Amino acid sequence: MGDDIISQGRDREPGPWPRRLAVIAALAVVVAAGGGFLTLAPRHDAPPLSHRSIAMSLPPEPEGIAGPTLAWDRDLRLLAAGARPAWFSPATGRAEPIEGLPADRSGYQFTRVPGGWAVQAAPALPAGCGSCAGPPAPVWIISDGARSATMLGTASLVAPGATDGTVWLTSYPAGASMATAAGTAWEAGATGTPSRPVRLPPGYAIVQGTERGLLLAPASQQPGTADVLWGSFPLKASPVFSGVIAADPDEIAWTSQCTASACVRVLNLATGRRTEVALPAGSSAVNAAFSPDGGFLALELSIGSHGDGGELGMRLEVAPVTSGRLTPVPGTWVSSDALIGFGWPAADDTLVARFSFTTKMQLASWHPGARSLAVTIIAPGSNELSLILG
């Protein structure tokens, strides 16, 4: 099928999708949340967006995100991880503990799922075996904005399901290497009966449940491997996706070389519609995330060496998946070490990003079409705060 993202070959390079590594290797333990969360940036009138420019210089590093900003949405809540996870309001600076999650000094792992979040107690991984599965750990689910969590069961790994409130739980034999062992998976949710167990192909782990089957990734992550969309057909006959950088129940995005430049391709699994997102000249897509309703794709772009020390420049851009036309997110042109993370943590189309500069840390949110960001500054002494963005 030419240079499409769906192929039958096995000689492709793996995609740069950091989220899949967290799913397969069991997410890093998050640290406890501290007090004194954020201070608010003042509200100003918003000017129109300036024309995009690849040749622009990076902002002075201690300055951070400057210029006109908007007020934060008072209804927006972000998950604050730690020994006692909580909902945090950037607009008010207040946090509300989430009921149903026992205090855990080791912290929790969070996975964005349709309609909410899956929460797993940090598993105790075997020493000296990076690919070995630890013992199954408890898993809960929190619906968007819910004040309490619901217990689902125990598992070694967690992945998003295809419908609201569902997750795929996978368990492996104790001490088994996920790079070669076959996991046993089942779909579970806060309501309804868990599905019948499914035996996964040896060496594969679930990245995302879709309406066309399970998107699987090789647990080994060796060069030359690719993701597989596995359903009612044999593994060898399953569509193969190379360079996957984002997926949701209905869509898959992957990097590719289009007619004149690099691009990101998007496939709608329900309709078969394909969209090309042309990238600015000299740029490449490092990471991506679909909005909760699947209508937008946020891209983290690496654009040349523009800093005083020759560091890479990074910028967030967003495209509707129907048109593929990119729009720069205002104020997010920074050096590569300044953009810590981004995602769509709310049920609506709210993109949130975290930045680290020499003298400050900042949190910013943006709605597609808005002319400015809402920005807050992380107060000194709250370095242990760990917000989950997506």
Using CA atoms of 220, 225, 230, 236 in order, give the dihedral in degrees to the nearest 10.
Answer: -110
Query: CA-to-CA distance for 188 and 281, rounded, in angstroms?
Result: 44
pLDDT in tens, 113-165: 999 999 998 766 666 676 788 788 999 999 998 999 999 999 999 999 999 98
Share of the chain above pLDDT 70, in %: 77
pLDDT beyond 80 at 206: yes
Q: Can you tell me the mean pLDDT for 57-73?
A: 69
pLDDT at residue 256 in the model = 85
With beta carbons less than 8 A apart as the criterion, state whether 340 and 348 touch. no
Pairing, β 361-366 against β 38-40: unpaired
Banded model confidence at residue 43, pLDDT cuts 50, 70, 90: very low
SS3 377: strand
Three state DSSP letters for 173-185 = CCCCECCCCCCEE
Element housing 290 (H / E): strand 283-290
Banded model confidence at residue 385, pLDDT cuts 50, 70, 90: low
Residue 26: closest CA among 162, 183, 228: 183
pLDDT beyond 90 at 229: yes
Contact partners, residue 332, CB within 8 Å, separation at least 6: 65, 314, 315, 316, 339, 353, 364, 373
Pairwise pLDDT comparison (351 vs 60), residue with the higher score: 351
pLDDT at residue 220 in the model = 78
Query: CA-to-CA distance for 257 and 276, rounded, in angstroms?
Result: 10
pLDDT in tens, 244-257: 999 999 999 999 87
pLDDT beyond 90 at 10: no
- The first and second tokens of residue 193, run together, are 């009966």
What pTM does this model have?
Answer: 0.83
CATH superfamily for 6-388 is Prolyl oligopeptidase, N-terminal domain (2.130.10.120)
Distance of CA 50 to the CA centre of its chain: 28
pLDDT at residue 379 in the model = 66
pLDDT at residue 146 in the model = 92
pLDDT at residue 271 in the model = 93
